[in-house]
A and B are shown apart, each in its own frame.
Chain A
Amino acid sequence: MRRRSRLRVAQIFVLLLAVFVFLGASDEARFNSLGHRMMCTCGCGQILLECNHVGCQSSDKMRNELMAGLDRGDNDDLILQGFVQNYGPTVIAAPTTTGFNRVAWVMPFLALALGVGFVVVLVREWKKRPAPALADGISIPPNNELDALRERARKETDL
């Protein structure tokens, strides 16, 4: 009983610690963050803040617009929405998480989850299969002896 309660305390402590450690947001570097979430529209194919064309009218203008949006106190979504209205949906460097675009984000993780599930099922199936039949006169030693033999073989084949 005491053991279980100690375990519960440890669990609660870990959960609180994790939430505390990972929370604590700040709005610093929003310009940098938003500027890296948009593309320059001059055709260079670069992230807005990485476009290095001197006199590139697109990126200079867009940076100014971004700065103006931040100065107005607009939130991130509003700023991005404004850019989409002005420059079209391709201005956002990654698919949004709304509507059909959500599929872009979900599919890789879905593939991973399905793949993990498939491999787990496969491994379980393969593990359930009976061992190949042994020839007459051959016997397999018990597990601990077998492990010892494996360990020995491993050490010796390291040579």
Chain B
Amino acid sequence: MSPMSALGSFALVMALALASYSFVAGMISLVWRDPRAPRLGETARRAGIATFAAVLLAAGVLVTAAFQDDFSIAYILQHSNRDLPGPYKFAVLWSGQEGSLLFWSLLLAGYGFVLRVRHETDQRLFAHASVVIAAVQVFFLLLLNQAARPFSIMQGPIRADGNGLNPLLQYPEMVIHPPMLYLGYVGFTVPFAFALGALIMRYPGEKWIHITRRWTMVTWCFLMIGIFLGAHWAYSVLGWGGYWGWDPVENASLMPWLTGTAFLHSVMMQEKRGMLKVWNMVLVFLTFVLCLVGTFLTRSGVISSVHAFAQSAIGDWFEYFIALTLAVCAFFLALNFSHLKSEHKLESVVSRESSFLFNNLLLLVACFTVFWGTWFPLLSEFFQGHKVTVGPPFFNRVVIPIGLILLLLTAVGPLLAWRKTSLESVTRNFLFPAIGSLVIGVAMIVLGVRPWESATWYYATMGILSGLLLLFLITAIGRLTSRNVSLEKIGKKLLFPVAGALASGLLLMMLGIHPSEDPSLFFAIMGAILAFLVIFTVASEFLRGGRVIAEKTNQNILGAMLHLYHRNMRRYGGYVVHFGVALVAIGILGGAFNKDVEKEMGFGDQVTLGPYTLVCQSYTQESNPNFDNEWAIINVFRRGKQVTTLYPERRFYHASGQPQTLPRIYPSVREDMFLVTDLYLVYEGRNETTGRPIIKAHLNPLVPWIWVGLIVMVFGTITALIPNAAPARVTVPARVESPVHVGAGD
């Protein structure tokens, strides 16, 4: 055994022993009624801290082995080679199954380290959370010591060079994307640990939820960055012109993000109104389980995916652990259910509380849909004896409509007050955003976005349903206009028509009348209207609050809005996140207007795509120790003027023997009605007969908004984590005539 392998293996055994001690001793200290229990608990905490050191040592050894080209270790042989550039040797840590599980353990130990060091915040709650984290650590360390050993030794003579890193991973973003994704996946263990700990100890009050919310936001943000970096990587490397393929592994990362988003909203119900205590607990548990399911999907090979690692035995380990986790959660939920009882009392259907309920419902249905589509091939195999493909056409048709309704709620929800909202208030706040967004919709139709031009039964069905809905709407409003109008009454009148329309839609689909044509233009126009509705409502909220501040403090409106932001970082940070969501939605709906062209291009050949003319100036090839490459030099002209030169490339890696496409992207601003458009060139290869390159060019409008939207969402999340500025002094004391508790904001 090589010294590196021995040291790494020893570190992992030590880590397992320490985590096991932390778990067992921690648990005993919590149930043992003895004066010595706190001391035992302290040893458990320190063992937990030491686990981090041991796992860090193991990870350090593996990375060092990669840098030293120690091919006696099987993992290094399979995932590295001598000519691999330095940063990618670091990425070897998470490029294979064993290494990525070690990376999981390292991050978990890191989170555990922070949690255990900060135990003074609430010693008993943190001790419970520490035990839960230790239990999860034991599982992953058992895996690393038994089923997926990163320090296994190669049998026979040591080979001169390794197999190399997967070419798709040899891209700068790949050094950031997996750690971000893992920080998200692993990070959800912390809210889970706090939730389970609080449930087990029947934690009094809501403090645990405040602690958990912050951890969840940080983790949620990491997962979001990881998901978007993955999408950007797919866009920049895979060369098919898209960024999201609804691959099972992509779906696996989306599911916990959706439930995490639901939790971040519903947790406000508990903080403000003491409601949904059980539901919040279930959401935290579900999010953690979905993180495990995601890891299981990636590792087990149970569902075929371009991302998934080869089929391996660790799938069984995950199945047992997921089952055990579910059983433990269900047991403690049943045992301490009475502790979570809350007074659910709604004053009005039209309130912030209701909007959160529907928001949670839609996020959960979206999560279920993604889960359902991901696992349906297995279900089909079980019932029909053969697998079916559940690809982008399914998800786009089913998830996007749900996403559109969510966008509507994103716009409307923040305008509704806690407890009760009056019609006047909704009308006042909603009128201008609604008019503005409808103007956008009409403008799109005028500019030529007409979904009905390429549709058949789908739009007929949609049209009839929309007509029926409008019919009932007119009836309801007509009947109510002469009476005492309230939103409740309108809501009641609309309840059955909406339910009826949904049921009719379902029935039509069951009868076989289904969307057979591409509904992307329809989705695009609806998406644009709703995304702008979100943007306008966010803007109107800022303006409304800013005007109040400006009047009181004599500041200009921009300064007043900034002041407003500082005064309630959480609320306005949330609005900024919503604004980012709208930008992402705008970026996604651009997909409906994509164009592409493919052509074999010799010297001087040209092809036209949208406003661009592409001229092949030259093509050539090179070689270096790590790979051979071929690329074309394409001059890009617009209205006869050269705007840029792009070098789409294709590589062939020596060690792994695998090719890689490196598309080149030219994001242009104000080129057309879309404001931002990506020109995306792919070197697909050479025609073997003529030797000339085949170039595929895509024109992808609005895509850059997706990445801008991410930056805005991250900014909003970070600011929402920052404490508010000191409260403003109210110079005119409010005379409160009745001690009625009134909630507002957030």
Q: Which residues of A contact B (CB under 8 A)?
A: 3, 7, 10-11, 14-26, 28-29, 33, 36-37, 39, 44-47, 50-55, 76, 88-102, 104-113, 115-120, 122-123, 125-127, 129, 131-132, 138-141, 145-147, 149-159
Contacts and interface: CB of A to CB of B under 8 A. Distances in A.
Which of A33, A97, A140 has the most CB atoms of chain B within a 10 A radius of its CB? A97
A28 B471 contact: no
Contact of A22 (B466, B502, B505, B744): B466
B684 A52 contact: yes
B349 A127 contact: yes
Given A111-B369, A113-B503, A25 B455 contact: yes
B152 to A, nearest CB: 29
A130 B364 CA distance: 30
B657 to A, nearest CB: 16
Interface string B377-395: 0001001101111111110
Contact of A116 (B380, B499, B552, B744): B499
B389 A94 contact: yes
B734 interface: yes
A111 B368 contact: yes
Given A94-B397, A150-B744, A154-B417, 8 more contacts: A11-B474, A19-B460, A19-B467, A25-B455, A54-B694, A104-B373, A129-B344, A154-B744
28 contacts: A15-B471, A19-B464, A22-B452, A23-B460, A25-B456, A25-B457, A33-B518, A36-B518, A46-B240, A46-B245, A47-B391, A53-B685, A54-B686, A88-B386, A94-B394, A106-B509, A106-B510, A109-B505, A112-B365, A123-B346, A127-B345, A149-B742, A150-B742, A154-B417, A154-B742, A158-B544, A158-B745, A159-B730
A109 B685 contact: no
B357 interface: yes
A152 B422 CA distance: 13
B349 A95 contact: no
A126 B386 contact: no
Interface residues of B, number: 107
A108 B372 contact: yes
B362 to A, nearest CB: 8
Nearest to B567: A159
Contacts of B742: 149-150, 153-154
A143 to B, nearest CB: 9
Contacts of B696: 52
A47 B388 contact: no
A55 B688 contact: yes
A95 B417 contact: no
B452 A21 contact: yes
Interface string B640-669: 000000000000000000000100000000
B34 interface: no
Given A22-B466, A152-B734, A159-B552, A39 B391 contact: yes
B354 A123 contact: yes
Contacts of B622: none
Contacts of B417: 150, 154
A94 to B, nearest CB: 4
Nearest to A104: B376
Contact of B502 (A3, A102, A113, A118): A113
Interface string B391-431: 11110011000100000000000000101101001000000
B642 to A, nearest CB: 26
Contact of B392 (A14, A93, A101, A149): A93
Contacts of A139: 738
B143 interface: no
B31 interface: no
A52 B463 contact: no
A20 to B, nearest CB: 8
Contact of B463 (A18, A127, A149): A18
A119 B389 contact: no
Nearest to A112: B365
B358 interface: yes
Contacts of A88: 386
Which of B380, B457, B505, B686 has the most CB atoms of chain A within a 10 A radius of its CB? B380
Given A15-B468, A25-B456, A108-B368, A89 B548 contact: no
B158 interface: no
Contacts of A119: 357-358, 361
**Top 3 A-B residue pairs of the complex, sorted by shortest distance between their CB atoms:** A22-B463, A54-B685, A18-B467
B609 interface: no
Given A18-B467, A123-B357, A154-B744, A115 B425 contact: no
A134 B688 CA distance: 85
Given A22-B459, A24-B452, A94-B394, A100 B516 contact: no
Nearest to A23: B460
A147 B685 CA distance: 69
B156 to A, nearest CB: 31
B88 to A, nearest CB: 24
A138 B682 CA distance: 73
B247 A45 contact: yes
Interface string B457-485: 10110111011101100110010000000
A81 to B, nearest CB: 14
A14 B734 contact: no
A30 B603 CA distance: 34
A16 to B, nearest CB: 8
B446 interface: no
A153 B345 CA distance: 21
Contacts of A101: 380, 384, 388
A89 B464 contact: no
Contacts of A120: 495, 499
B334 interface: no
Contact of B402 (A17, A112, A159): A112
Contacts of B347: 127
B509 A54 contact: no
A93 B391 contact: yes
Contacts of B728: 159
Given A11-B471, A129-B345, A132-B343, A104 B389 contact: no
Nearest to A156: B734
B380 A100 contact: yes
Contacts of B736: 149
Nearest to A117: B499
Contacts of B369: 108, 111
A50 B240 contact: yes
B506 A106 contact: yes
B420 A147 contact: yes
B357 A95 contact: no
Contacts of B391: 39, 47, 93-94
Contacts of A44: 306
Contacts of B260: none
B240 A146 contact: no
A118 B470 CA distance: 25
B534 interface: no
A8 to B, nearest CB: 10
A92 B368 CA distance: 22
